[in-house]
Structure 1
Amino acid sequence: MNTRRILCGWVNLQERDEAPADILQAMFSAEGADAPANPLRLGQAGWGAIGPESSTMAHDTETGIVAMLLGRPIWTNPASAAQAAAQGHAAAAARRYAELGERLFDELQGNFSLAIYDLRQGRALLAIDRCGVERMCFARVGPLLVFSTSARAVAAHPAVKASLDHQSLYEYLYCHMVPSPGTAFGGVEKLLPAQRLLATAQRTTRHFYWAMRFAPDKQTPPEAQRETFRQLLRQAVERQVDELPVGAFLSGGTDSSTVTGLLGEVSGAPARTFSIGFDAEGFDELDYARVTARHFGADAAEFYVTPEHVAEALPLIASAYDEPFGNASAVPTYFCARIARERGVRAMLAGDGGDEFFGGNVRYAKQGVFERYQSLTPGLRQMLEPLVMNFPFGSAIMPVRKARSYIRQASVPLPDRLESYNFLHRDPLTDIFEPEFLAAVDTERPLAMMREAYFRTESAEPVDRMMHLDHKITLADNDLRKVSRMCEAAGVEVRFPFLDTDLVNFSGTLSVAQKVSGNRLRVFFKEALSDFLPGETITKSKHGFGLPFGLWLAQDGPLRSPATAALDGLSKRGIVRADYLRKLWQEHSSGHASYFGVMIWVLIQLELWLQRNDRPGAA
């Protein structure tokens, strides 16, 4: 089964330019792929797509609409669903766009990346799904619109000729990935979740065709809410199970355990699960995965990741992503998916999204403690702060020292407070970056982008706003990229039941207290599934597929040589100061290996990625 998925294209919105036929090949080659055998060339446009889905491209000659679509969309209109089943989703999208225009998105759900060209109107439309499972990158050069699911492919178009973007490299080091709308290449951008772009010869506009609606349902009894939730969960899993052999990631947390139990029910056979372990204290969670596997009678497979596996994965990760990507849990994700593939599984169900839509991240409860201080009257804060901050010998008195720390953090508003412990806030930026690099970037932009996502929601509740921010940053920009790309590299598809549109919309009907109450997370979720999940799963603290890279790097093993070589190479690029890299290594070696290992991993991946992408179009 082919799991390679990429969509590339360009269109001149002003004139027929008869561009050379090898442009599409250059774009596909940037991702190490051959151009599809049946690309579409219209003189002013060249389009092509590769994917496991059939009929990814359609040209409706009756309406003059061309469409490309990758993903697993769901059509709420029966006629469109029937056409998609008979002729492919691209054909259905072309026909429905001709009939509805941009109202097409009212009935197009699931995950998709979509490109449409209306020859008669001379305009192009790009869009991605509501949750950002898929992606779309683009560049506008005069009347030319170039687009692809890969930023690297857009950069390879000869009219774009994009070079590496220092601003985005800074944002990578701040966020450990390149957050949308930026990409690692200058002039190339990404769409945000639920965003569509409309381009004509004169201009380009972007709008959100959907927004998460936070409207707590105060009328429906709790018992009925729980029943609806259980039905929607089952439906979400059913929609992701087809003729392919399906398995599930199992970490032992509430999300993966829920998917495991429902997969067994839906398929009528023991769910095939795949779990990762580490021989490192505080990182191995196989015991929890085993609890779930026993509870649901799953057909469970386990795999222990070692330092040798990490060393093997270092170059693979750098090559797999079209932008630098620093989430180290890509390693266990890859090996988990690879083991599934070796055992005959062709599609994996992942639990991503439960935290972001049902209130599962620890910071939601933690920030509530600080928000209580923000709720005090200004007069009371003005009285308390001098008393605490100026208390004699306060730094030597534990309660006063803690109170000072609390006030300092609480005084920073959300969402900025979420980045209090960011590595780039630990030292002056002039100590971290080379002067010329630092002078070329806007160091405030990462926080500005976070504020935009945080406040771009109708809810005034901090928990809802943090979840909205996490939908964009933690989920779409980070976790979905991690899982999707590593599964593709391992040769399997991945599907996300918790991102089902009906389930996501239902989450918006829950009150804040049903999501987070004091230090309790996922309140409604756990209550609704208390008779379904194991008790140990309900009460366990959040963990996930963390990687003990820092601990293993501290040992004299297979990771030290590639790590030191990568940091040495990075020190010569004029980005990060060599003395800062030495300091970071010393701090890692002298203690807190896990903590400092995170930033070392991020820097290593940057260098390995730059080695492969220091010129446009390099694969």
Structure 2
Amino acid sequence: MCGLAGLLRATPDASDERLTALAGAMGDALVHRGPDDRGVWTEAATGIALAHRRLSILDLSPLGHQPMASSDHRFVIAYNGEVYNFAELREVLVARGHAFRGHSDTEVLLAAVVEWGVEDAISRCNGMFAIALWDRQERCLWLARDRVGKKPLYYGWAGDTFVFGSELKALWRHPDFDNGVSRDALALLLRLDYIPAPHAIHERTFKLLPGSLLRIDAATVAGGAGAHDPQRDQRRYWDPRERMETALRAPFKGDEREAENRLDELLREAVGLRMVADVPVGVFLSGGTDSSIVTALMQAQSRHPVRTFTIGFERSHHDEAHLAREVAEHLHTAHTELYVSGSDALAVVPTLPAMFDEPFADASQVPTALVARVARSAVTVALSGDGGDELFFGYKRYERALRNWRWQRRVPSPLRKAMARSATGHGESSRTGGFAALAAEMGACGIGDVYRQRIARWRDPACAVPGAKLPATLYDQPDPLHGAGTAADAMMLADFSVYLPEDLLCKVDRTSMAVSLEARAPLLDWHVAEFAWSLPLAFKRHPKGNKYLLKQVLRRYLPDEMVDRGKRGFGAPVSDWLRGDLREWASALLDEQRLREEGYFDAAAVHGIWRKFLGGERKWHTHLWNVLMFQAWHEHWREQRRDV
């Protein structure tokens, strides 16, 4: 696990010394992602520079140093992540005549590119990664991101230079990166609490989509951002919609017991692959289904007690530490439990802009940061249970959306249309429930329209951001699966493609890497995902409870009373914070005069919601938190730019 950065100039008029200084400064902004080693590679004749910060996980020797060149010197790579099946690939490559100096997965990845080419090599990799690869023969740069989007990769233009990096803070270090705020991206933040790829908070700046490749050469750089269309130029080598449609056309034919055996086998293999490291490995344990099954499968394959980590909240209904403790005791893990106070949690809030360096408003970022800090005190790698809900129908909002969609189709069409027209006058009040919320869904043309109301924060965010046009996402499609599956499948696809990589995985990546901890998610092995998509919905949505098949596997390792627990989530009491210890901080950031002077928001609209919230109206904290996260981020960004 590491951090990468670099640049490519359209006109290679800089010296190696200048390129080294520029790339080195960009890479050093990512020292938290890689405190163990530093590397820079440049080629002034072509204007390319790669920088790397290393967190040593495999092959701790200097033979794992990056940027690394291929044995034929054609390719140079800066790479963040892990290829879990590198040992298998290495055997195949040795049989084809390749020799290796060390035992890092980076060296194997380079040999695979030499042997099979870029796209074929990456398609053979089972892992999490972001890659910058320079082809010295073709004089082109390849950027790649893993299938699910576990590792981030930003790119854009600093003046007329193409820049890229694991986090925006690397791009900020280039003196010509003066890109302003994208109002369209800000509207997405208000809608979703995060900014999904390919969008980014800055103008002329983008994220690489999960499962995608981007090829850049000097001609592309010379064209600048105006000639670049991320939807056109980013090429998917693994597309969740296509893979789900393929799985649905060839569904699993076995019975429930056969499906249970196969899922157990796939999960065991996925967990085993992610336990491979030359450093200590542990697991985040909340006591819920997903983290419990990962923990159980780790312990089943370990000769020693697995290190498990959880945090509890003093005097809070969000506390789940006792559930994790029961699982840990049953599995005989080496358990670490830390209880934190409200003041401990609130102390994290001022660090969030620097931790995420793009506004991000999933409030569970706070407890996630705390548990990552606890784990890093004992291990360098931690496994997580991310992905179970999106693959096995785990969210209560899925049931609510299906219920509402079923009810709506029973309402006569003229009445539905009349109710939908009436919703236009209610604005953001549909967020608070009642008739306004019901009417807002009556214009739905498909399950996607209903589900969007379930997950949206601001219903009409462009109205709160003057000059913004809300970009379309998969959530804006009436049926994200285009009729290929059930309504439940369509919702899970949308969450897997957007919410999972850009919220959940982003949250885990930033909070873990902030303390130099590598997080791995075995439930998101692509073999597990494609198998889950092939299963009948009845194996997930079941009268005995959702995530049915996953829980059936878990019963092999835990007693029923530890399996049959309701879903609680990993939340944070934001409403209490904003009315209590964070009220003064929030009041300053939401000051109406300040909002008016900065000009990003409709000051009256935002301040009006703040007044309603303080007056006791419920649910407005979700609207306010994403505005506050932008305001805090914007303040931090201006400070960082002054230092360049």
In the superposition, the TM-score normalised over structure 2's length comes to 0.82
2:270 alignment counterpart: 236
CA distance in 2, matches of 1:218, 1:606: 45
Deviation at 1:63?
A: 5.1
The alpha-carbon distance between structure 1 residues 616 and 459, as it changes in their structure 2 partners (threshold 3 A), is farther
| Local SS of the residue matching 2:370 | helix
Which of 541, 552, 557 pairs up with 1:532? 557
- One-letter code aligned to 1:246: V
Deviation at 1:119?
A: 1.6
Q: Is the 8 A contact 1:234 1:262 kept in 2?
A: yes
Which of 326, 334, 359 pairs up with 2:361? 326
Q: Is the 8 A contact 1:337 1:490 kept in 2?
A: yes
Which of 46, 55, 64 pairs up with 2:74? 64
1:222 alignment counterpart: 256
Is 1:77 equivalent to 2:89 in the alignment?
A: yes
Is 1:353 equivalent to 2:381 in the alignment?
A: no
Mean CA deviation greater in 234-243 or 561-570: 561-570
Which of 531, 543, 560 pairs up with 1:506? 531
- Structure 1: gaps spanning 5 or more residues: 391-400
What does 1:198-217 correspond to in 2, within 5 Å? 198-203=215-220, 205-212=233-240, 213-214=243-244, 215-216=247-248, 217=251
CA distance in 2, matches of 1:560, 1:420: 28
| Local SS of the residue matching 2:534 | coil
Deviation at 1:224?
A: 2.1
The alpha-carbon distance between structure 1 residues 553 and 479, as it changes in their structure 2 partners (threshold 3 A), is same
CA distance in 2, matches of 1:457, 1:111: 29
The alpha-carbon distance between structure 1 residues 114 and 459, as it changes in their structure 2 partners (threshold 3 A), is farther
**Equivalent residues, number:** 590
Deviations 1:471-528 (CA, angstroms, capped at 9, x unpaired)? 2322110111111211122342211111223222321221222222479421222233
Is 1:100 equivalent to 2:128 in the alignment?
A: no
| Local SS of the residue matching 1:152 | helix
Deviation at 1:470?
A: 0.9
Q: Is the 8 A contact 2:420 2:440 kept in 1?
A: no
Percent identical among aligned pairs is: 26
What does 1:367-406 correspond to in 2, within 5 Å? 367-373=401-407, 381-382=412-413, 385=416
Is 1:464 equivalent to 2:489 in the alignment?
A: yes
Deviations 1:11-57 (CA, angstroms, capped at 9, x unpaired)? 24675654723221342355577997531111121111112143332
The alpha-carbon distance between structure 1 residues 416 and 258, as it changes in their structure 2 partners (threshold 3 A), is same
Deviations 1:406-446 (CA, angstroms, capped at 9, x unpaired)? 57525423323223263422x8865xx3xxx512x103x1x
- One-letter code aligned to 1:52: L
The alpha-carbon distance between structure 1 residues 13 and 465, as it changes in their structure 2 partners (threshold 3 A), is farther
In the superposition, the TM-score normalised over structure 1's length comes to 0.85
Q: Is the 8 A contact 1:63 1:98 kept in 2?
A: no
CA distance in 2, matches of 1:404, 1:481: 33
- One-letter code aligned to 2:370: F
CA distance in 1, matches of 2:356, 2:493: 25
Q: Is the 8 A contact 1:291 1:534 kept in 2?
A: no
Is 1:613 equivalent to 2:612 in the alignment?
A: no
Is 1:416 equivalent to 2:449 in the alignment?
A: yes
CA distance in 1, matches of 2:482, 2:304: 42
Mean CA deviation greater in 458-467 or 76-85: 76-85
Deviation at 1:167?
A: 2.0
Deviations 1:212-249 (CA, angstroms, capped at 9, x unpaired)? 32325342233222112112212222112234222221
Deviation at 1:164?
A: 2.4
CA distance in 2, matches of 1:518, 1:200: 55
- One-letter code aligned to 2:192: C
Q: Is the 8 A contact 2:383 2:520 kept in 1?
A: yes
CA distance in 1, matches of 2:420, 2:347: 51
Deviations 1:291-320 (CA, angstroms, capped at 9, x unpaired)? 322332333332233221133111211111
The alpha-carbon distance between structure 1 residues 38 and 291, as it changes in their structure 2 partners (threshold 3 A), is closer
CA distance in 1, matches of 2:505, 2:361: 13
Mean CA deviation greater in 129-138 or 306-315: 306-315
CA distance in 2, matches of 1:453, 1:497: 31
CA distance in 1, matches of 2:420, 2:633: 45
- Structure 2: gaps spanning 5 or more residues: 57-63, 221-227, 422-432
Mean CA deviation greater in 449-458 or 64-73: 449-458
1:8 alignment counterpart: 5
CA distance in 2, matches of 1:454, 1:91: 43
The alpha-carbon distance between structure 1 residues 85 and 585, as it changes in their structure 2 partners (threshold 3 A), is farther
2:328 alignment counterpart: 293
CA distance in 2, matches of 1:156, 1:559: 31
Is 1:41 equivalent to 2:69 in the alignment?
A: no
Is 1:310 equivalent to 2:320 in the alignment?
A: no
The alpha-carbon distance between structure 1 residues 613 and 514, as it changes in their structure 2 partners (threshold 3 A), is same
1:171 alignment counterpart: 188
1:139 alignment counterpart: 156
The alpha-carbon distance between structure 1 residues 148 and 81, as it changes in their structure 2 partners (threshold 3 A), is farther
Q: Is the 8 A contact 2:209 2:234 kept in 1?
A: no
2:310 alignment counterpart: 275
Q: Is the 8 A contact 2:158 2:174 kept in 1?
A: no
| Local SS of the residue matching 2:170 | helix
Which of 486, 509, 534 pairs up with 2:511? 486
2:137 alignment counterpart: 120
Which of 40, 51, 55 pairs up with 2:65? 55
Which of 584, 588, 592 pairs up with 1:561? 584
1:91 alignment counterpart: 107
CA distance in 2, matches of 1:368, 1:519: 18
- One-letter code aligned to 1:317: L
2:169 alignment counterpart: 152
CA distance in 2, matches of 1:453, 1:163: 33
| Local SS of the residue matching 1:455 | coil
CA distance in 2, matches of 1:322, 1:403: 38
- One-letter code aligned to 1:77: L
